[in-house]
Structure 1
């Protein structure tokens, strides 16, 4: 059983209710990313020794897990930034629309008071505001969206490892597999650029 290093006890982190959070904090902390913590800080937080955290990192957190956590963190950041930009765009749109309503009220008031000169000036102002609104909506017609490539998904990272393992186990499968991949213009190369 994983985590039972001779003592017969399950690993403390593996049975911890915050296991996923702990692993994420360790990985993000190693890479200096938001949401991460140093191993010592994680150890203090959950009441273990820093050596236990270091051992856990070495023995239980695979490179596939690291890649998946880092990919998710990058995607979360992009999504958060996109949401902020979309909110700011909506604030700008609301401001312009509020301004247009105010100018319309001024025009109505000027017309009610038979102040044609002021009404004409206000109409010119409204025309400029409406032009700005149209320009802004044209430039911001669609919400920003997040695009994620398959190569960043945890499932693809795992699938590539499975393919490598199978090709190592059955070497004669490597050549037909790579031929079919080339035919479909797909890549399962490692980050270093070496084929599987």
Structure 2
């Protein structure tokens, strides 16, 4: 019973495939007939084209002499027009050449003026003004005074980081020349920083 139902399920598929094959064969025959007809049309067109080329050659040969004479007349007229245009162009070039010298001189003068202006601006911006120089002198004097004040108050002390177990602590170098060191009023020991 299952083999019969399997066969019945395949039969419609086979019928569809047979119809598709028949349709493909019919299309192939139609395509072959069309190709044959196209080939015949091509041959006919080639023959017509050859005949047309021969006819055109014959007519061209007949009209070549007439055309050559007409072309010579047209060229003569065009050469006269071209000669007039060349004379006008030469006059314009001559006029332009007269004015070119002045235009070139003016252009070069403008470029030199621009270069001098840019140079002057660059030089002016590169050097400080007298007021800026005076202001910087005052700043240097103030900084020198500040440095001397810091030196008097221990500004030469050398600072560093010292290891204290697993952390670094800020420390400074001390002067170890006194044998016993100093003690404050409350008895704590003190050392003098080196450079103070």
Is the TM-score greater than 0.5? no
Larger Rg: 2
TM-score, reference length from structure 1:
0.26
Select the structure that is richer in helix: 2
- Which protein has greater RCO, CA pairs closer than 8 Å, 6+ apart? 1
TM-score, reference length from structure 2:
0.26
